[in-house]
Chains A and B, each alone.
Chain A
Amino acid sequence: MSIEATPGLERVDDTDAGPDPPYLYPDYRSTALRAPGKPLVLLPHTLSELTGPVYGQDAVGALDHDLTEGHGGEPLGERIIVAGRVTDADGRPVRSALIEIWQANAAGRYAHEVDQHPAPLDPHFAGAGRCLTDDEGRYRFVTVKPGAYPWRNHPNAWRPAHIHLSLFGRAFTNRLVTQMYFPGDPLFAQDPIYHSVRDPNARERLVCELDLDTTVPEWALAYRFDVVLGGPAATPLET
């Protein structure tokens, strides 16, 4: 909804912002003091919006996609593969997209000093990984299924199990930070972060699917999570 005609630039009401959550979502208490209160100014799409950092294979290490490696032993928990494709809003693959992930361990505890949940840390699990998409936009991580954990948003509040993802598309406007959930989680019903995406179809796009085709028999179940980066279509900077 356009609020007023200021010369040159339109104002946009945040409550009509497409699939993304609104800034102010009272059920998620932390939004109360951090959500902008004024309408947003719609930016023209200049080179500043249509370009973004470009990553090459040197941006990630050979084992960075495997969160079960590199920490002196196998982490506890259910080993899983998380794989999928990154495309733009026209369905075209986004290649060389940098994906960074971080998550709690199988017990629901983050390797972060602020996390006080009385669940064990796992010395063999740091919980962070990164990778680049290939020419078809595909990516693949190996990790363990994160546990649910409590937080203080409301009485007896628990976050559904989730993996955080950060993605760079072709342009700085495509930048996306999101969370991937697991199918059928009974904690969805009481989670305001999940429900902050108001359109049920859009919410469904935050939930991965069990993928038996990618599952490695007798080793690890696979979950498929495809990501669509919105924003203006852009031509990548030539490297």
Chain B
Amino acid sequence: MTKLLEDELRTYQRHREQLLAAAEGKFVLIKDDRVVGTFDSEMDAIRQGYAVFGNVPFLVKEIVEIEVPKKIFSPLLRV
């Protein structure tokens, strides 16, 4: 489903333990196999992503131990 960010998600998994130890609760910016940096806010990470890479796919992800899905209760969703 999320093929456009497959490499970035793999990179996150590879660095997950280090990131949790160093920057839990912050947001990491990843492009391909490169961890660009961590940021206090998600918007800062996204703006840095656009500034460095332009309008291309990149991954901004909160560094958390346990991933909690977002809740969307609308019956309009077809998933």
Question: A and B: partners?
Answer: no
Interface residue ranges, B against A (CB under 8 Å): none
